[in-house]
Amino acid sequence: PDGAPQRAMGDAARLIRRGWQRLIASILDCEKPVVAAVNGTAAGGGAQLVLSCDLVVMAESAKLVEVFVRRGIIPDAGGAYLLPRIVGTHVAKELMFLADDVSAPRCAELGIANRVVPADALAAEVDALAARLATAPTRALALTKGLINRSLESGRHAAFEDEAAAQDWLTASSDFDEGISAFRERRDP
């Protein structure tokens, strides 16, 4: 409207840093596995929210769209960081340059979605997956998630050192003791 102040330089960056980037980082840094259930269109920041999750289950009718260039802006919420790590640089550029809708089956083909299910089965599938994760050894899951996330930004030597240190720490835990006992007794931990 007339007379309204224009945005000051730095406003957009501040909003992104305090909003979307903080949310995406909290999911990436969370020690617990985070499961996305997508039952509709995940666009813009919503698409990046999906990409930041550890596991993604999509309804057959769901879709993802990197809509930013349609609006004359660049991907934010960590999109240019996350998407190439999942699908590779050429596919990431295609999805971000063309801003086409990506169907759930195509998301599965690209490695964005772990599972695609009928819409009426989405909640049950996600609940079953979450229940399975909830019974897994928490420290092993947390350390595995951290190792995988860090491996994308470190070299082989650093990754091997991280792995050795984590395994050393974990073998002194009650999760490890229970896992070994269950293995010996041929039962579920």
- pLDDT category of residue 5 using cuts at 50, 70 and 90: low
> Mean pLDDT across the chain, nearest whole number?
92
- pLDDT category of residue 20 using cuts at 50, 70 and 90: confident
**108/103 Cα distance (integer angstroms):** 9
User: Residue 66: pLDDT above 70?
Assistant: yes
Q: Do 154 and 162 contact (CB within 8 A), yes or no?
A: yes
Query: Which residues 6+ apart lie within 8 Å of 130 measured at CB?
Result: 35
Q: At 32, phi and psi to the nearest 5?
A: -85, 150
Segment among 59-63, 72-76, 97-101 with least mean pLDDT: 72-76
Q: What value does the mean pLDDT take over residues 2-11?
A: 70
User: What pLDDT was estimated at residue 189?
Assistant: 84
Query: Which residues 6+ apart lie within 8 Å of 119 measured at CB?
Result: 39, 59, 60, 61, 62
